[in-house]
Amino acid sequence: MAKLLKKGDKVVVISGALAERDNNNKLCNIGPIQEVDRQKQRVRVEGVNLGAKKTVKPSMANPQGGLVDRHDWIHISNVMLLSKWEERQGKRAESAGA
C-alpha cells in the first residue's frame, strides 16, 4: 500500500482517532496528501490532524513570522485512496441489495 500513495493523491482516513463520520455515517476526513515519509510509513493529509503549531522566523514568504498551523503525521495504514474507498463502498451496497 505504501507504494501506491504519493503526494497529491486524494485519500480518506479510514481508522484511528481521526476517522470522523458525519450524520449519515459516512467518513468525512478526506484530503490530498501533502507529504509522504516512506521510511517511517507516514503521510500528512491537508485538512486533517491540525494539531501542531510551529514558530517561524520572519522571511520573504512570511514577513511577519509567528505561529503557523502544521499538519501532524498519520500512519499509512490509517488512510486509503479515495477511489479505492468509493469502489469498495459500491461493492458493499450491491451485495447488501441483492
Domain presence at residue 4 = no
Q: Cell numbers for 77, please give them.
A: 495504514
* pLDDT tens, residue by residue, 10-59: 988 887 666 667 666 677 778 899 999 999 999 998 888 767 788 889 99
* pLDDT tens, residue by residue, 64-97: 988 887 778 889 988 888 877 777 776 655 555 5
Instruction: Compute the distance between CA of residue 33 and CA of residue 43 in angstroms, rounded to an integer.
Output: 7
Domain presence at residue 74 = yes
Look up the domain containing 87 and give its range: 10-97
Q: CATH code at 22?
A: 2.30.30
Domain presence at residue 5 = no
Domain presence at residue 2 = no
Question: What's the pTM value of the predicted model, to 2 decimals?
Answer: 0.66
Domain presence at residue 30 = yes
Give the side-chain half-sphere CA count within 13 A for 30: 12
Instruction: Compute the distance between CA of residue 17 and CA of residue 87 in angstroms, rounded to an integer.
Output: 24
Domain presence at residue 32 = yes
User: Is 94 in contact with 60 (CB distance < 8 Å)?
Assistant: no
How many domains, in total, are found in the chain?
A: 1
Domain presence at residue 17 = yes
